[in-house]
Amino acid sequence: MKIPSFTRHDERDEAMSMTPMIDVVFLLLIFFVCASIGQQKELLLSTPISGAGVKSETPPEDPLQPEPDRAYIKLIRIGDETVTDLNGTMIEEPGRVRELLIGLATVAPDVPVVIDTADEVPLGDMIALYDLCRSVDFETINFAIDPPENRPVKAKPKP
């Protein structure tokens, strides 16, 4: 009986070479899962909106007074709750804000809405108000920002 002189290609060799790559993939997966656990939820972050990079030709005379031809909505944090100020009227019930915005949007959907948030208001509350304004079909939704301070910009030193 003749013994074959060549060696057969074994399928187990290919499976063995995949093992280190699978180990590395699982280690990366475990790393990213562990790294993402300690992050703070984005919806609980405060929402300071700065006016850096926004050029204003003429500053408003009194930015706290709403214009009669727009819906000025201000979110204020009182204690642990976010309170809505709609054109100078404090509204503490979220359902009431929805009713008023639906009524305003059915009468005048082209009225611009300005959303002004205090720095301590959670990001989730601002996004919920924005989504509410979009869902009742307002055509224009803007965000109020603090005017940039008039300080000269310092040049960064070259390395």
Least confident of 33-47, 52-66, 76-90: 52-66
- Residue 67's pLDDT is 45
Structural domains of the chain in order of their starting residue, each with its CATH number: 71-143 (3.30.420.270)
With a pLDDT cut of 70, the percent of the chain lying above it is 63
Most confident of 9-13, 19-23, 54-58: 19-23
Interatomic CA distance for residues 115 and 130, integer angstroms: 8
What value does the mean pLDDT take over residues 59-68?
Answer: 48
- Residue 25's pLDDT is 92
What value does the mean pLDDT take over residues 86-96?
Answer: 83
Confidence band of 43 (pLDDT split at 50, 70, 90):
low
